[in-house]
Structure 1
Amino acid sequence: MKKLFWVFILLMHALLSSAQTPKVNSFIESFVSKNNFNGIVLVKQNGKTTYYQSFGFANLSFKIPNTIDTKFRVASITKAFTAVLVLQLSEEGSIDLNKTISAYLPDYKGAGKNKVTIKQLLNMTSGMRNMDAGVSLESALKNGIPQYQRPFTSDELLAKFCSDTLVTTPGKEFDYNNADFIILGKIIERVTGKGYEQYLKEKLLDPLQMLNTGMLSQEKIISKLADSYFYRDDLKSLSNDLPVYWENWYAAGSMYSTAGDILNFSDALFEGSLLKPETMKEMFCSGLGEYGYGVWVYKDYEIGQKKYTIIKRPGSIMGAQAMLFQILEANSTIIILTNTGNVSLDDFAADIAKQIIN
């Protein structure tokens, strides 16, 4: 009887949540149908999950459905985790954000060794030549993507792709560069004496009960991990993702997770469980390129007739796309994970935000 009682309570909660958001439900289901969306959509408002549904297939060849337990490659959402780890180390006094790379990686050979600060790595103003400069679909199909299609250790990534020349003065221009966060990953390792994956697990994944989250690598077989497919403009259709070593994105983009686990991280971050208030204020300060530390920060973002602060952390690597979209003043979270690159998650999340803000 006790078990039946709790089943009844959970069922009623689900029905009430659904009944509270008919506008949101209708919009999402219409969008999914029109755009052939594959993935997960989760919406949380004022402490309650009001929408949580899976759509489409985790594997298109075998028509294996996505479920709420499906794991997705979350790409650059990884950067938010890396930023939090660095800021926690800063709070402990182990990292000074105003010191340069050389303070923590004395053997670093890059031109920015004594010029680029940890803060400039966090806010993507290092001025370093972009490690992905010149990469396009055409070049990838013709020549491959050397930095991701050959196996490299994180030390090799640092030396080969993250120690380049400076093309602008550090701190003066925003340039979204994966190299900045690969360097931060190596700094975390050097300061803590632990591998990035181990430290991530100890400091964030285990404490937050993120049991379905980890780092991708070629040798791992990860249960319930969705295959991903990117959209080929030249073919006007989805295609299998190009073969890559996902671990080469390292602290900049190698994580996998579920929507539920990303929500655990989001709740802890925005409720102040991970960082001190003054540190959060610094992380969420909108700087050059409207970028904070590892996240985009949009002040005075207009929804309806009101203005809000939006904290956004998208991720996109070929067909693997992810979105963490937080509306601060409305205490609302939108999480979207997909394994097909045929939908703009920026647009999808923004449109959902319009539906949930009355």
Structure 2
Amino acid sequence: MVLSHTSSINDKNGYFDLDVINPSKSDQYASSYSPNEPGTTYDYCNLNFNMVGAVIERLSGQRFDQYIKEHILDPLQLYAGYCVDSLDQNKFVTLYEYDPAKHDFFPQPSAYNPRSLEIKNYTLGHSTPIFSPTGGMKISAVDLAKYMGMHMNYGTGLNGKQIIKKRNSKIMQTPITAEEGYGLALRSINTLIPNKVLIGHTGSAYGLYSAMFFDPKEKFGIVVITNGCRIPENVDFNPLLKDCIQLIYKEMIQQ
């Protein structure tokens, strides 16, 4: 339920502090729970993934970013990570976000704020949101494409390393909520390319917008990462990303 956004938990009180759902820590905790019975309705919730990160720490006894590096990134030979301090800052691109009030774009350096102080006072299973399991991965388009290849091949990376059992990978890609098309942290969508159902996810933060979608049957996928764009309000899917995906697909089939 947590991975499919049907947990009945919401982001009303934020999602970077797990105390928002703790009755002994917050007098507003009740409003972080929706009135609907768990498992009955879909409500996208970032807090769900930060909770999963905390669960991973409690079960493994290992810090979230280090667990991901050891069990996912290193086996797939990817240069990426959730801990900014462990990455080469010379590889970071400047992110720009549009300010509608000033009709201009401004750099967002806070996307790369160091975590040294928080790590110094880190508590496993509680401090987890500082790494933002909900979307804090720093990764290039090339390495994201390699990661996508693992899902496209049902748990086996392009280097032949299996990190998810095929059966479990297929479960992740199977929609639980029919209307929204969400499985376990992966979404099925049929509006990007005509007559194609693609599986993946989008991302947005600090002016960055991204999309990773693939077809596990026909074995093709597309990754787009951009920033500094102006996105219309109240749209279901970033139109710029949709246009990019369609253009890339047209180039693919022409070749």
TM range (shorter): 0.7 to 0.9
Please identify which structure carries the higher helix content: 1
Name 1:321's counterpart in structure 2: 209
What is the alpha-carbon distance in structure 2 between the residues aligned to residue 193 and residue 282 of structure 1?
Answer: 26
What is the alpha-carbon distance in structure 1 between the residues aligned to residue 245 and residue 13 of structure 2?
Answer: 26
Per-residue CA deviations over 1:33-64 (Å, capped at 9, x if unaligned) read xxxxxxxxxxxxxxxxxxxxxxxxxxxxxxxx
Change (3 A) 1:219 1:310: closer
The alignment's TM-score, normalised by the length of structure 1, stands at 0.53
Question: Is the CA contact 1:161–1:179 (under 8 Å) kept in the aligned structure 2?
Answer: no
**Aligned-pair CA distance for 1:184:** 0.2
Change (3 A) 1:352 1:232: same
| 1:187-202 paired onto structure 2 within 5 Å | 187-202=55-70
Question: Is the CA contact 1:162–1:183 (under 8 Å) kept in the aligned structure 2?
Answer: no
| 1:149-298 paired onto structure 2 within 5 Å | 157-160=17-20, 164-165=29-30, 166-167=33-34, 168-210=36-78, 212-217=79-84, 222-241=89-108, 243=110, 248=130, 250-272=132-154, 273=156, 274-288=163-177, 289-298=180-189
Change (3 A) 1:171 1:266: same
**Aligned-pair CA distance for 1:209:** 0.9
Question: Is the CA contact 2:65–2:131 (under 8 Å) kept in the aligned structure 1?
Answer: no
| 1:115-154 paired onto structure 2 within 5 Å | 120-131=1-12
Aligned positions, number: 214
**Aligned-pair CA distance for 1:161:** 6.3
Per-residue CA deviations over 1:142-169 (Å, capped at 9, x if unaligned) read xxxxx76xxxxxxxx2114687432122
What is the alpha-carbon distance in structure 1 between the residues aligned to residue 107 and residue 192 of structure 2?
Answer: 37
Name 2:122's counterpart in structure 1: none
Name 2:249's counterpart in structure 1: 353
Per-residue CA deviations over 1:161-218 (Å, capped at 9, x if unaligned) read 68743212211221111100000000001111101011101101111111x2111447
Aligned residues with identical type, % of pairs:
24
Question: Is the CA contact 1:130–1:175 (under 8 Å) kept in the aligned structure 2?
Answer: no
Question: Is the CA contact 2:202–2:211 (under 8 Å) kept in the aligned structure 1?
Answer: yes
Change (3 A) 1:129 1:266: closer
> Helix, strand or coil: the match of 1:226?
coil
What is the alpha-carbon distance in structure 1 between the residues aligned to residue 229 and residue 83 of structure 2?
Answer: 19
What is the alpha-carbon distance in structure 1 between the residues aligned to residue 244 and residue 11 of structure 2?
Answer: 28
Question: Is the CA contact 1:121–1:181 (under 8 Å) kept in the aligned structure 2?
Answer: yes
Name 2:221's counterpart in structure 1: 333
Change (3 A) 1:275 1:162: farther
Name 1:58's counterpart in structure 2: none
Counterpart amino acid of 1:263?
A
The alignment's TM-score, normalised by the length of structure 2, stands at 0.73
Question: Is the CA contact 1:131–1:178 (under 8 Å) kept in the aligned structure 2?
Answer: no
Unaligned runs of 5+ in 2: 24-28, 116-129, 157-162, 232-239
**Aligned-pair CA distance for 1:295:** 1.6
Per-residue CA deviations over 1:82-131 (Å, capped at 9, x if unaligned) read xxxxxxxxxxxxxxxxxxxxxxxxxxxxxxxxxxxxxx110011111324
Question: Is the CA contact 2:81–2:87 (under 8 Å) kept in the aligned structure 1?
Answer: no
Counterpart amino acid of 1:230?
E
Query: Could you say which structure has the larger radius of gyration?
Result: 1
Please identify which structure carries the higher strand content: 1
Per-residue CA deviations over 1:10-36 (Å, capped at 9, x if unaligned) read xxxxxxxxxxxxxxxxxxxxxxxxxxx
Larger RCO (CA within 8 A; separation ≥ 6): 1
Question: Is the CA contact 2:213–2:223 (under 8 Å) kept in the aligned structure 1?
Answer: yes
What is the alpha-carbon distance in structure 2 between the residues aligned to residue 302 and residue 205 of structure 1?
Answer: 28
Change (3 A) 1:192 1:302: closer
